Structure 1
Amino acid sequence: MSMTSMVVLGLSIATVLLLLGAFLATLRQDRKGRTAEQPVEVAPIETPLPAPVSLPGHAGSDYADPRTIKVGDRIEVHGSPSRVLGAMHISWQGQQWVEFRLRDSARRVQWLSVEVRKGLAEGDQSHLEVLLWTDVPTQGMVPARSMLIMEGVEFFPLDRGTAAFRSEGSTGAPDRGLLDFADYRATDGRLLSFERIQGSSWTAAYAQPLAPGSISIVSRAS
């Protein structure tokens, strides 16, 4: 083979290699471009749902019904045992409720009020309100018709009136009579109530609302 033929052959091979390299480079760029153009599937970020709000249970089926408590029963309030010493059945302007006198294992006396309250607006469902009352020293205080301060907390008037009552068991009250009361609420929701049996002095107590299921009936009165 002549020198000229070898040079031509070499140039041809070099040209082919250059063309092949250019083709491969173009193919890589095309693949890269296509890959970049394809959207990457990312799972959408979902806003967390609010915590579910459990519906109130049904007294008597899902938990003990406080309205069935009787004098002489042994109950537990938040797991603390108490005995029902007596009950005052109270009526005022069509509303009726019961206040149970309790004595716990430390021989501390408390009151438990149970009342079915109507909704605030027309069409609202009635609800069962159960409050545990703890006595507070009044130091001769009388319920004012305006805001009053108890232990540094401002309380504003809610309801006030005179109710009729009937006693059962040991309550420290007559069998029947009239009961003056004045209820107050603080801005933080705390409740305060003054009560007096007509002819007696005022007493006061704070209220602690009890959630459904806070009360269990250990044993019934014989």
Structure 2
Amino acid sequence: MTPEVAAILGLSAVTLVLLLGAFFATTRQDRKPRKAEPPGDIPRQPAEVAPPPQPSAGHVGIDYPDPRTIKVGDTIDCQSVRTRVLGAMYLSWQGNQWTEYLLDDGTRRYQWLSIETRAGLNPGDPPHLEVLLWTPVPTQGMIPAKTTLSVEGVEFFPVDRGTAAFRGEGVTSMPERGLLDFADYRAADGRLLCFERLQGQPWSSSYAQPLPPGSIKIEKKG
């Protein structure tokens, strides 16, 4: 092998080594870990459920009529239904006082509307108005138990029980004065159920639907 050939072969070997080195360097560079990219189909987060609409804030008697001023003979708009107040019952029990109004919408469909001022839920909270619209429930012959009670497949738990004194005004189908036994229940979903009876009479029952105090419009008896 001549010196010229040996030199050419040596240069070729060096060139080959350099090329291989560049190739492997490029290959390693391509195999470097990349930042994780989000997958094509990203599961979207569920949209936040909007809270139920709340009645507009205001002051009773200033921003809306005070339902405690309802009188027998007035006409009220309750749930977009005009009803006339036929009578009222003023009840008291263990220092608590509330009023129940008998409503007539003109179709022989009678409902009771109860209004009571209750203490705040937590210490220091101001008192609030509780307005309930009662709808009769067919529970003939049923006696309110002191434990859980099942009505139309719903379990109700006892809340209050006692005997209230009352005074009637107008048309109520009740005596002018007397004693009324009652038993209040509440379901897990917040539904209210109440049994009432004049002492010695059969029990009657009703469901209660809470209403915002500002949802009632009052037309005073002319």
- Normalised-by-shorter TM-score class: 0.7 to 0.9
Cross-structure match for 2:110: 109
Q: How does 1:100-139 map to 2 (within 5 A)?
A: 100-139=101-140
Q: Could you list the structure 1 runs, at least 4 aligned residues long, displaced by more than 3 angstroms after superposition.
A: 50-56
Normalising by structure 2, what TM-score? 0.74
Alignment check: 8 A CA contact 2:67 2:213 kept: no
C-alpha distance in 2 between matches for 1:129 and 1:88: 16
C-alpha distance in 2 between matches for 1:57 and 1:212: 10
Q: What amino acid does structure 2 have at the position aligned with 1:119? A: G
- SS of aligned partner of 1:140: coil
- SS of aligned partner of 2:145: coil
Shift of 1:54: 7.0
Specify whether residues 203 and 123 from structure 1 end up closer, same or farther in structure 2 by C-alpha distance, changes over 3 A only: same
Shift of 1:53: 7.1
Identity %: 64
Shift of 1:63: 1.0
Shift of 1:184: 0.3
Q: How does 1:159-170 map to 2 (within 5 A)?
A: 159-170=160-171
Shift of 1:141: 0.2
Aligned length: 173
C-alpha distance in 1 between matches for 2:179 and 2:131: 22
C-alpha distance in 1 between matches for 2:197 and 2:142: 12
Note the alpha carbon deviations across 1:136-194, whole angstroms, 9 max, x for none: 01121010000000000000000000110000000000111101000000000000000
Say whether 1:196 aligns with 2:197: yes
Shift of 1:211: 1.4
Q: What amino acid does structure 1 have at the position aligned with 2:221? A: A
Normalising by structure 1, what TM-score? 0.74
C-alpha distance in 1 between matches for 2:83 and 2:56: 28
- SS of aligned partner of 1:181: strand
Specify whether residues 88 and 184 from structure 1 end up closer, same or farther in structure 2 by C-alpha distance, changes over 3 A only: same
Alignment check: 8 A CA contact 1:57 1:212 kept: no
Cross-structure match for 1:221: 221
- SS of aligned partner of 1:67: helix
Alignment check: 8 A CA contact 2:115 2:130 kept: yes
Say whether 1:82 aligns with 2:122: no
- Give the aligned CA root-mean-square deviation in angstroms: 1.9
Cross-structure match for 1:11: none
Question: Which range is displaced more, 70-79 or 117-126?
Answer: 117-126
Cross-structure match for 2:19: none
Alignment check: 8 A CA contact 1:56 1:212 kept: no
Note the alpha carbon deviations across 1:58-117, whole angstroms, 9 max, x for none: 111111111000000011102100000000000000000000000013221000000000
Which stretches in structure 1 are left out of the alignment for 5+ residues?
A: 1-47
C-alpha distance in 2 between matches for 1:214 and 1:112: 13
Q: What amino acid does structure 2 have at the position aligned with 1:165? A: F
Alignment check: 8 A CA contact 1:59 1:65 kept: yes
Cross-structure match for 1:9: none
Cross-structure match for 2:155: 154
Q: What amino acid does structure 2 have at the position aligned with 1:221? A: K
